[in-house]
Amino acid sequence: MTGRQLLALVGLIMVGAAVSYALQTIGPIGHYVGDMASAAQILDDKRSPQVSAGTADVTLILFSDYQCPACRKADPAMQAAIAEDGNVRIVYKDWPVFGERSERAAEVALAAQNQGIYPQVHHALMSSRGLHDAALRQAVESSGGDWRQLEADLALHKLSIARHLARNGQEALSLGLEGTPGYLIGPFVIRGALSEREFIRAFAQARAKR
């Protein structure tokens, strides 16, 4: 291979890398599901724990598991992106796919909704070092909740919580999700963890499709 040919090859590689980077930074995130009735119904959810900010003109549906490493990694980036945007409605969908400890943590988080502290408990559990009962109690109490009240709510609402979790799983599967984390941001389904920058891009992408 001559020097000129080598330079040409290096140039092609650099162009390819630049195109790949451009696609990652300006290409679409996820895939469009705006024509799916199930997606519209999920976006319209009024029953799941949720928080709205500003005009809330973009909805982010979060499917997550408290033992999911990618979920835990993405949580601070998601919070930062939502705070920076200021106009996002987030709907939390606990989807415990990592076993019994995940199910127990999800049940505790949903029971905390009765004390109005679901978002705080959710984020506390995402950063907790464990999901044993002492850690679950710490997450509730550090969020301003009463553990005894939560245990009573768990017992009283056991069936409705189980149904809620089952519905979350059915909705995730209806969107084609295979695991956590999964997001429905506006009419786009996104699989896997996102960075803060990617969340911001996903919000803009959702707004562009309204």
The per-residue DSSP string of the chain comes to: --HHHHHHHHHHHHHHHHHHHHHHHHS--SEE-TT-HHHHHHHT--SS-EEE-TT--EEEEEEE-TT-HHHHHHHHHHHHHHHHH--EEEEEEE---S-HHHHHHHHHHHHHGGGT-HHHHHHHHHT-S--SHHHHHHHHHHTT--HHHHHHHHHHTHHHHHHHHHHHHHHHHHTT--SSSEEEETTEEEES---HHHHHHHHHHHHHT-
Which residue, 115, 113, 147, 143, is CA-closest to 127? 143
pLDDT per position as a tens digit, 153-166: 999 999 999 999 99
Which pair of structure tokens corresponds to residue 90? 């987030």
Check pLDDT > 80 for residue 33: yes
Given this model, what pLDDT does residue 136 score?
98
Give the domains, in start order, of the chain with CATH numbers: 30-208 (3.40.30.10)
Given this model, what pLDDT does residue 1 score?
53
Ramachandran quadrant class, 94 (left: phi over 0; alpha: psi -120 to 50; beta: rest)? beta
CA distances from 22 to 16, 19, 66, 191, 206 (A): 10, 5, 33, 20, 19
Check pLDDT > 90 for residue 19: no
Which pair of structure tokens corresponds to residue 100? 């019994």
Of the ranges 27-36, 113-122, 153-162, which one carries the lowest mean pLDDT score?
27-36
Check pLDDT > 90 for residue 209: no
Of the ranges 7-16, 35-44, 74-83, 106-115, which one carries the lowest mean pLDDT score?
7-16
pLDDT per position as a tens digit, 68-90: 999 999 999 999 999 999 999 99
Check pLDDT > 50 for residue 10: no
Question: What's the mean per-residue pLDDT of the chain?
Answer: 90
Residues 127-149 have a mean pLDDT of 97
Check pLDDT > 50 for residue 23: no
Residues 145-155 have a mean pLDDT of 98
Check pLDDT > 90 for residue 202: yes
**pLDDT level of residue 205 (50, 70, 90 thresholds):** very high
